[in-house]
């Protein structure tokens, strides 16, 4: 099992993570991790904080002098450069509808309603990206790749027919991680800026080449679809998660036919999105998620000053206009963590070579399902 434990606040000294369960013998390519951290910060529509921070992973434990995992917990931190705006300095009593200001302050009895946002800030997602990129490096060792793209910003959507590696390579060079219609999507963000609003949208993540058999149907807690849904739904702005197609109501059309062709078993579609019975079925795992527009709206939203009970509007604090690209990357990295964990659970072993042997043995022993 692979687990991430986090600590840190948006404007505290820094962000801290302990990634437990990465087996011994994985080369941790910090350039790859730092590249992903930079990608999280990139993006049209991001706020001023992105110009302040230069996120980089500092690994303090669990690797040897060559950057190879030792099997011990990987402890890491990411510095905060902006430590000035901590909650004691950023103080307000008017909750932003949609943020954790109200519910979090009721729960912990905070008088300063800015307190919950120190821990719920999007900044914390840098930890998910750092840990998720290590999980993605682990998955790569088994030929598993994680892809992601923004599908919609506002009402503008772009879908690529060809979801090949090339398409996703191009996504990486897009300012907003889009598969197309970049100019229209940027115009949506610009309009939101002009009208002192924020804007949401939809992201896509695909995990390719997973073996069939990860996750389990015996206990709802172990179902792969449920684990993916929780990992993505708990990303700050995400309000819905779907796996595969969710708009087809005819069973005859929805379900993905099997066909034996030239001695190889094939599926003729992938409406199930790669998971059946809570278990991966060997097809691409396809996950979509809707990110609401963020709650820090410049023109304010009707709210109440909790100190004196007067009707007023929510406060504006420095924020982003659009976080859909960042949320897309963060969700994909959370999904990488889920599947890396399921893979270690199924194939066990404390070292990469043990897991590889068990993985290869499994693939060979199940080959008869696909090949005749």
Q: How many Å from the N-terminal Cα to the C-terminal Cα in the chain?
A: 34
Which residue in the set 122, 200, 274, 282 belongs to the binding site for ligand EPS (CB under 6 A)? 122
Binding mask of the shown chain, residues 60 to 89, with x at each position contacting ligand EPS by CB under 6 A: ----------------------x--x----
> For residues 94 and 304, is the Cβ–Cβ distance under 8 A?
yes
Based on its alpha-carbon atoms, the radius of gyration of the chain, rounded to whole angstroms, reads 22
CA dist., res. 227 & res. 341, Å (int) = 10
# chain residues binding ligand EPS, by CB under 6 A: 16
> For residues 90 and 110, is the Cβ–Cβ distance under 8 A?
no
- State in angstroms the smallest separation of the CB of 123 from ligand EPS: 3
Which residue in the set 4, 8, 9, 10 belongs to the binding site for ligand EPS (CB under 6 A)? 10
Asked if residue 334 binds ligand EPS (CB under 6 A), the reply is no
CA dist., res. 177 & res. 325, Å (int) = 6
Looking only at residues 102 through 121 of this chain, which bind ligand EPS when binding is defined by CB under 6 A?
Answer: 117, 121
Binding mask of the shown chain, residues 27 to 56, with x at each position contacting ligand EPS by CB under 6 A: --------------------x-x-------
CA dist., res. 172 & res. 203, Å (int) = 14
Nearer Cβ to ligand EPS, position 188 or 320?
Answer: 320
Looking only at residues 259 through 298 of this chain, which bind ligand EPS when binding is defined by CB under 6 A?
Answer: 294, 296
> For residues 15 and 127, is the Cβ–Cβ distance under 8 A?
yes
Largest CA distance in the chain: 75
**Residues facing residue 27 across a β-bridge:** 68
SS3 assignment for 3-27: EEEEEECCCCCEEEEEEECCCECCE
CA dist., res. 342 & res. 336, Å (int) = 10
Looking only at residues 303 through 322 of this chain, which bind ligand EPS when binding is defined by CB under 6 A?
Answer: 318-320
Which residue in the set 101, 123, 223, 332 belongs to the binding site for ligand EPS (CB under 6 A)? 123
Nearer Cβ to ligand EPS, position 64 or 196?
Answer: 196
Looking only at residues 135 through 174 of this chain, which bind ligand EPS when binding is defined by CB under 6 A?
Answer: none
Nearer Cβ to ligand EPS, position 24 or 232?
Answer: 232
For the record, the structure tokens of 355 come out as 């897991």
- State in angstroms the smallest separation of the CB of 101 from ligand EPS: 10
Nearer Cβ to ligand EPS, position 322 or 337?
Answer: 322
Nearer Cβ to ligand EPS, position 21 or 293?
Answer: 293
- State in angstroms the smallest separation of the CB of 293 from ligand EPS: 10
- State in angstroms the smallest separation of the CB of 58 from ligand EPS: 17
- State in angstroms the smallest separation of the CB of 155 from ligand EPS: 22
- State in angstroms the smallest separation of the CB of 303 from ligand EPS: 15
CA dist., res. 165 & res. 134, Å (int) = 20
Residue 178 in 3-state DSSP?
strand
For the record, the structure tokens of 248 come out as 């087809």
CA dist., res. 110 & res. 86, Å (int) = 15
State the residues that interact with ligand EPS by CB under 6 A: 10, 47, 49, 82, 85, 117, 121-123, 125, 294, 296, 318-320, 326
């Amino acid at each position: 099992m692979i687990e991430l434990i986090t600590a840190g606040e948006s404007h505290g000294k820094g962000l801290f993570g302990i990634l437990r369960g990465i087996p011994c013998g994985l080369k941790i390519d910090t350039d790859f991790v730092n590249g992903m951290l930079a990608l999280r910060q990139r993006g049209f529509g991001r706020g001023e904080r992105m110009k302040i921070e230069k996120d980089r992973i500092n690994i303090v434990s669990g690797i040897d002098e060559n950057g190879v995992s030792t099997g011990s917990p990987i402890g890491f931190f990411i510095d905060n450069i902006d430590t000035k705006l901590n909650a004691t300095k950023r103080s307000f009593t008017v909750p932003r509808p949609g943020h954790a200001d109200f519910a979090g302050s009721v729960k912990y009895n905070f008088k300063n309603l800015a307190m919950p946002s120190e821990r719920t800030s999007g900044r914390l997602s840098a930890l998910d990206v750092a840990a998720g990129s290590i999980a993605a490096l682990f998955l790569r060792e088994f030929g598993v790749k994680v892809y992601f793209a923004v599908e919609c910003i506002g009402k503008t959507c772009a879908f690529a027919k060809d979801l090949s590696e090339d398409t996703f390579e191009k996504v990486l060079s897009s300012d907003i991680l889009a598969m197309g219609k970049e100019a229209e999507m940027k115009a949506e963000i610009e309009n939101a800026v002009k009208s002192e609003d924020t804007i949401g949208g939809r992201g896509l993540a695909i995990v390719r080449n997973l073996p069939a058999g990860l996750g389990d149907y015996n206990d709802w807690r172990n179902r792969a679809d449920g684990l993916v849904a929780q990992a993505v739904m708990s990303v700050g702005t995400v309000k819905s998660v779907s796996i595969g197609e969710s708009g087809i109501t005819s069973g005859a059309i929805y379900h993905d036919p099997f066909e034996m062709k030239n001695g190889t078993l094939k599926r003729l579609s992938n409406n199930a999105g790669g998971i059946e019975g809570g278990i991966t079925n060997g097809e691409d795992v396809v996950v979509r998620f809707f990110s609401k527009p963020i709650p820090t709206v410049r023109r304010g939203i009707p709210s109440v000053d909790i100190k004196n009970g007067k009707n007023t509007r929510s406060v504006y604090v420095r924020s982003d206009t659009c976080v859909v690209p960042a949320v897309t990357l963060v969700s994909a990295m959370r999904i990488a963590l889920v599947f890396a964990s399921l893979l270690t659970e199924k194939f066990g072993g404390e070292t990469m070579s043990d897991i590889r042997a068990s993985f290869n043995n499994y693939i060979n022993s199940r080959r008869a399902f696909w090949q005749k």
